[in-house]
C-alpha cells in the first residue's frame, strides 16, 4: 500500500527589516564631521581620553575658523558678571566649580570695579572669603593663642557664617580629639556674646550623635560625645543632655556602647559629681549592674573598673576646666537646654551660599554688634591717629629720648615670640625663615640661641628639627656661631641643674652642631675629664655628646678628628697626660662608653710612663751628682789656694826674721 507523501512546508517567519534611508547629497540637515585621526596607545582609557581631547581641539579650531570667516559676526565683549555667575553657580552642597586663582582674582577685580556691593557676584566673593577666614582661624586655635584668636573670629560676620563656624569647629574637633577642650572653650566664648551660634553647634552635635548611634558608627559617636561632654563642662549645654546620653548608652549594654559611655563619663564625670551627685551615683550604679551581668567582654570590664578607680581619685587627670581655658565668667555663661529626643533645628541651609537682598543692612548691623563686643578701640585709635597725623603735619614732633626697659618685659615678649614661631613651624626651613624676620637688637643673639636650646630640651625625645635650625643659623651668621659656642660653655657649667631627659636633648643638639662643624671644636676645652672636675651629670652629657657625634661622623671619622694636632691640643683636658691617675680615669671612662679607639695615645703614654719616670729620675740624679762633684772640686781648689797663701806668708815672715 503506497502512502501518499506530501511535502511539508516549513514555517519561515518574515522579518520586515527597515532599510536605512540615504540622505541626499548636500543636505543641510546633516553636516560632515571632521575626520579625527586614530591614536595608537596601549592603554584604552588613555587612548579614548587623548582622542576626546583631540576632537575638542579640532572642534574649537573649526569654530575659530568659522568665526573668522563670518564678517558679519560682531566681537563679543567679556562680561565679568555673567562669567562669574556662570562659574559660581551653586550646584548642590558643593557649590560651583573650581576656579583657578588667577582667573578668580580677575573676576573679583572686575566685579568689585562695578561698585555694586549688593550684587550676587560681590556677595558670593564675600561668602567665599568668610568661609576661608573662619576655617583658617578655627584650625590654628590652641591654648596659647585662644585669647588672640577670639577677636579675629568676632571680626568676621559670625551671624551670617554661623553655619560655616559650626561645620568648621566640628570637623576640626573630629580630626584632633586632644584639642576638644580648646574648641569647647572657643564655642563657650562665642556663645557668651552670640548665643544662637552656640545653640546651633550644640543642636548639630546632638543630631549627629543620634544619626551615628542609629548607624552604629562608633568613631563618630565617640568624637561627638567628647565634644558634648566638654560643652557641658563649659556650661554651654545643660547636664540633662549628658544624663540622657548615658542612659541611652547603658540601657542596652554592648561592648561599643559601654566603651563610649566610659569615655564620656571620664570627661564629664567631675562636673556631674560636683553639680549633680545623685545623678552621678545613679550612673555608677548602672555601671556596676552592667559589670555584674557579665555580658560585656573582659576588655570593656577592665575599662569600667578603671573608671571606678578614676572616680576614687576624684578625676585628677580629667579636671572640669583645664588650665588656661576657664575664660568665661559665671555671670556671663549662657546654658542651652537640649532634649535628646526632641526636634532640633540644625539649619543645614546655612552651610551654602544664598543671595541676601538686605545684604548691606545686615552687614551694617553686624558691624555695630562687633563694635559693641570688641569695644570702640579701633575707631578711637583711628581718630587719635588721624588727629596725631594732623598735628604732626602742623608742628614737628620733638624727638624723644630712648626709654630703657628695666622690667624685662621686652625680653619676655621676645622669648614668647620665638617660642610661638618655632612651635607653629612645619619644618626647620620655615622656622629659620620666620625667626630671621624677628627684630633682634644687637647683642640679643644669645637669647635666640638659648630659646632654641630650651625648646629642644622641653621635647620628650630629641628632634633633628632643632639641630637643623641651629646649624642653619650658625652657617648664616657668624654672630650666631659665637652665641652657640658661648651657650655650650654656659650649659656645660650648669648641666647639673637639668634632669636626665633635658640633659640628653641638649647633648644631642650640641653633638649635631659639632659633627656638622657649625661651631668650633675649641669649645671642648671646658671639658676636664678627671675625677675632681667632673660630676655624674657632666659625664652623662659628654657620653651622649660623643655618641651623637659618632652616629653622624662614624667612629673612624671621630677618631681621625680627635687625632688632628690642633684639636688634640685643644682637648688636652679630655685626654690628660699630665698625671697617670687622670689618664687612667679618662681611659676607663671613654672605654666604658664605647669609644676606646680614641684612647690609644693615652694607653701608649700610660704604658711608657714607668720608663719615662725612670729616665726622669736618672736625669735628676745625674744632675744632682754633677752638681755635687763640681761643688767638691771647687772646695778642694779653694782649700789649696788658702794653704799656698798661708805657706808663702810663713816663708816671708821667716826671711824677714833672718834678715834682722
Quick: pLDDT tens for 148-157: 999 999 999 9
3-state DSSP assignment of residue 214? helix
**pLDDT at site 21:** 54
**pLDDT at site 17:** 52
Lowest model confidence (mean pLDDT) among 58-72, 185-199, 271-285, 577-591: 58-72
Mean pLDDT value of segment 577-599: 86
Lowest model confidence (mean pLDDT) among 49-58, 91-100, 298-307, 465-474: 91-100
To the nearest 10°, report the CA torsion of 79, 85, 86, 91.
180
Mean pLDDT value of segment 60-76: 66
Mean pLDDT value of segment 383-397: 44
**pLDDT at site 53:** 85
Q: What are phi and psi of 534, to 5 degrees?
A: -120, 155
**pLDDT at site 70:** 64
Interatomic CA distance for residues 94 and 101, integer angstroms: 18
**Adjacent-strand bridge partners of 237:** 336
**Percent of the chain, pLDDT > 70?**
77
Q: Please, which pLDDT band fits residue 340 given cuts at 50, 70 and 90?
A: confident
Which three-class secondary structure string do you get for 510-549?
HHHHHHCCCCCHHHHHHCCCCCCCCCHHHHHHHHHHHHHH
| C-alpha count within 13 angstroms, C-beta hemisphere, residue 473 | 31
Interatomic CA distance for residues 61 and 355, integer angstroms: 38
* DSSP code for 652: H
DSSP for 481-496 reads: HHHHHHHHHHHHHTGG
Place of cell 527589516: 17
Interatomic CA distance for residues 176 and 172, integer angstroms: 6
**pLDDT at site 61:** 83
Annotate 312-326 with b (16+ C-beta within 10 A) or e (fewer). Answer: eeebeebebbeeebe
* DSSP code for 29: T
**pLDDT at site 88:** 54
In the chain, what is the greatest distance between 2 CA atoms, to the nearest angstrom?
220
**Adjacent-strand bridge partners of 52:** none
How is residue 589 written as a grid cell? 671612662
Mean pLDDT value of segment 185-207: 94
Residue 168 pLDDT exceeds 70: yes
To the nearest 10°, report the CA torsion of 159, 164, 169, 171.
170
Residue-wise pLDDT for 432-447, tens only, equals: 998 988 888 887 888 8
Name the more confident of 64 and 191.
Answer: 191
Residue 645 pLDDT exceeds 60: no
Q: How many residues does the chain have?
A: 660
How is residue 361 written as a grid cell? 543692612
Q: Please, which pLDDT band fits residue 90 given cuts at 50, 70 and 90?
A: very low
Residue-wise pLDDT for 412-433, tens only, equals: 888 888 988 898 888 889 899 9
Lowest model confidence (mean pLDDT) among 243-247, 496-500, 516-520, 638-642: 638-642
Neighbours of 590 (CB within 10 A): 21
Q: Please, which pLDDT band fits residue 392 given cuts at 50, 70 and 90?
A: very low
Interatomic CA distance for residues 129 and 273, integer angstroms: 44
Mean pLDDT value of segment 153-181: 93
When the pLDDT of each residue in the chain is averaged and rounded to a whole number, the result is: 80
3-state DSSP assignment of residue 220? helix
Q: What is the pTM of this model?
A: 0.48
**pLDDT at site 400:** 44
Amino acid at each position: 500500500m503506497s502512502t501518499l507523501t506530501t511535502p511539508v512546508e516549513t514555517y519561515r517567519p518574515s522579518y520586515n527589516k527597515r532599510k536605512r534611508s540615504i540622505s541626499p547629497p548636500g543636505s543641510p540637515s546633516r553636516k560632515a564631521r571632521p575626520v579625527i585621526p586614530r591614536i595608537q596607545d596601549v592603554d584604552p582609557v588613555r587612548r579614548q581620553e587623548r582622542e576626546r581631547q583631540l576632537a575638542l581641539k579640532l572642534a574649537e579650531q573649526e569654530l575659530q575658523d568659522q568665526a573668522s570667516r563670518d564678517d558679519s559676526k560682531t566681537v563679543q565683549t567679556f562680561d565679568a558678571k555673567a562669567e562669574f555667575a556662570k562659574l559660581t553657580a551653586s550646584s548642590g552642597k558643593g557649590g560651583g566649580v573650581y576656579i583657578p586663582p588667577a582667573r578668580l582674582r580677575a573676576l573679583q577685580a572686575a566685579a568689585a570695579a562695578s561698585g555694586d556691593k549688593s550684587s550676587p557676584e560681590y556677595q558670593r566673593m564675600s561668602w567665599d572669603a568668610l568661609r576661608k577666614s573662619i576655617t583658617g582661624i578655627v584650625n590654628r586655635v590652641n591654648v596659647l593663642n585662644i585669647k588672640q584668636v577670639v577677636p579675629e573670629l568676632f571680626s568676621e560676620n559670625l551671624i551670617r557664617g554661623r553655619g560655616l563656624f559650626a561645620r568648621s569647629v566640628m570637623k576640626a574637633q573630629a580630626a584632633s580629639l586632644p584639642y576638644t577642650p580648646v574648641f569647647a572653650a572657643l564655642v563657650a566664648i562665642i556663645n557668651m556674646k552670640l548665643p544662637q551660634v552656640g545653640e546651633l553647634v550644640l543642636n548639630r552635635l546632638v543630631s549627629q550623635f543620634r544619626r551615628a548611634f542609629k548607624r552604629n558608627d562608633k568613631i563618630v559617636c565617640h568624637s561627638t560625645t567628647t565634644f558634648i561632654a566638654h560643652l557641658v563642662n563649659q556650661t554651654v549645654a545643660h547636664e540633662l543632655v549628658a544624663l540622657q546620653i548615658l542612659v541611652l548608652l547603658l540601657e542596652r549594654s554592648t561592648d561599643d556602647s559601654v566603651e563610649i559611655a566610659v569615655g564620656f563619663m571620664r570627661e564629664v564625670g567631675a562636673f556631674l559629681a560636683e553639680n549633680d551627685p545623685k545623678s552621678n551615683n545613679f550612673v555608677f550604679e548602672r555601671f556596676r549592674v552592667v559589670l555584674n551581668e557579665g555580658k560585656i567582654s573582659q576588655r570593656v570590664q577592665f575599662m569600667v573598673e578603671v573608671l571606678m578607680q578614676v572616680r576614687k581619685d576624684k578625676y585628677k587627670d580629667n579636671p572640669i576646666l583645664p588650665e588656661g581655658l576657664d575664660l568665661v565668667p559665671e555671670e556671663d555663661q549662657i546654658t542651652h537646654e537640649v532634649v535628646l529626643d526632641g526636634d532640633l533645628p540644625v539649619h543645614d541651609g546655612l552651610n551654602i551660599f544664598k543671595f541676601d537682598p538686605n545684604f548691606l543692612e545686615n552687614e551694617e548691623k553686624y558691624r555695630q554688634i562687633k563694635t559693641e563686643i570688641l569695644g570702640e578701640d579701633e575707631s578711637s585709635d583711628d581718630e587719635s591717629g588721624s588727629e596725631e597725623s594732623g598735628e604732626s603735619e602742623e608742628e614737628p614732633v620733638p624727638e624723644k629720648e630712648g626709654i630703657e626697659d628695666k622690667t624685662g618685659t621686652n625680653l619676655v615678649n621676645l622669648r614668647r615670640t620665638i617660642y610661638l614661631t618655632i612651635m607653629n613651624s612645619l619644618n626647620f626651613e620655615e622656622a629659620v625663615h620666620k625667626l630671621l624676620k624677628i627684630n633682634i637688637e644687637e647683642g640679643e643673639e644669645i637669647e635666640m640661641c638659648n630659646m632654641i636650646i630650651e625648646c629642644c630640651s622641653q621635647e620628650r625625645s630629641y628632634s633633628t628639627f632643632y639641630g637643623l635650625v641651629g646649624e642653619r643659623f650658625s652657617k648664616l651668621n657668624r654672630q650666631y656661631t659665637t652665641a652657640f659656642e658661648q651657650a655650650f660653655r654656659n650649659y656645660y657649667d650648669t648641666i647639673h641643674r637639668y634632669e636626665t631627659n633635658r640633659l640628653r636633648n641638649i647633648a644631642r643638639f650640641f653633638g649635631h652642631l659639632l659633627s656638622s662643624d657649625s661651631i668650633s671644636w675649641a669649645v671642648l676645652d671646658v671639658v676636664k675629664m678627671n675625677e675632681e672636675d667632673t660630676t655624674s651629670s657632666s659625664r652623662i652629657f659628654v657620653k651622649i655628646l660623643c655618641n651623637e657625634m659618632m652616629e653622624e661622623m662614624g667612629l673612624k671619622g671621630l677618631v681621625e678628628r680627635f687625632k688632628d694636632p690642633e684639636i688634640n691640643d685643644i682637648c688636652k683636658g679630655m685626654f690628660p697626660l699630665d698625671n697617670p691617675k687622670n689618664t687612667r680615669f679618662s681611659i676607663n671612662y671613654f672605654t666604658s662608653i664605647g669609644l676606646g679607639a680614641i684612647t690609644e695615645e693615652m694607653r701608649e703614654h700610660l704604658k711608657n710612663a714607668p720608663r719615662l719616670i725612670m729616665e726622669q729620675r736618672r736625669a735628676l740624679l745625674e744632675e744632682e751628682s754633677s752638681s755635687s762633684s763640681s761643688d767638691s772640686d771647687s772646695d778642694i781648689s779653694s782649700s789649696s789656694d788658702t794653704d799656698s797663701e798661708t805657706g808663702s806668708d810663713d816663708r816671708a815672715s821667716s826671711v824677714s826674721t833672718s834678715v834682722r
